[in-house]
Chains A and B, each alone.
Chain A
């Protein structure tokens, strides 16, 4: 029951992030929508799956996947934002 509630909240976060990626006007706004709500949604769905599957090797693998995604997703968001900012800033100054 608790697992299903967590999975439902996480799916809602993922859908909100999808609407944000599709509808927001700027690249930085889309990065905000993607980076923040994807972390929350993915983390909640994986925690819900861990709660549902109990103390098994599947739960251990889901925990490793959760740690990997929670470490790597902010790094990717930061790298894309820095790349877009550096290029657009210097390109506008040059022309």
Chain B
């Protein structure tokens, strides 16, 4: 399990590189969504290894809030007022 956690942390940091160096704003939104997915999976692995079921409530809340944030930012940028 430690190998899986290390690989997920490496994937999270690599996607954060695309978040900082993305050429267009959509690249940054996409990289934020991918990084939040990797973080959710990493926290789920840690919660299943620790055996605490109330960690998963916070992870589900974080996944829902991240989904709403990315969707709102994408719909804002569809009208073309945020990226100029």
Contact = CB atoms under 8 A, between A and B. Distances in A.
A30 to B, nearest CB: 6
Given A27-B30, A62-B44, A72-B67, A83 B78 contact: yes
A50 to B, nearest CB: 9
Contact of B30 (A7, A21, A41, A62): A21
B31 to A, nearest CB: 7
Contacts of A61: 47, 53, 56-57, 59-60
A5 interface: no
B56 A65 contact: yes
Interface residues of B, number: 41
Contacts of A77: 33
Which secondary structure characterizes the binding site on chain B?
helix
Contact of B60 (A52, A68, A83): A68
Contact of A82 (B24, B40, B78): B78
Contacts of B67: 68, 72, 75-76
Interface of A: 7-8, 11, 14-15, 17-18, 21-22, 27, 30-31, 34, 38, 41-42, 45-46, 49, 52-53, 56-58, 61-62, 64-65, 68-69, 72-73, 75-77, 79-80, 82-84, 86-87, 90-91
Interface of B: 4, 7-8, 11, 14-15, 17-18, 24, 26-27, 29-31, 33-34, 37-38, 40-41, 44-45, 47-48, 51, 53, 56-57, 59-60, 63-64, 67, 70-71, 74-75, 77-78, 80, 83
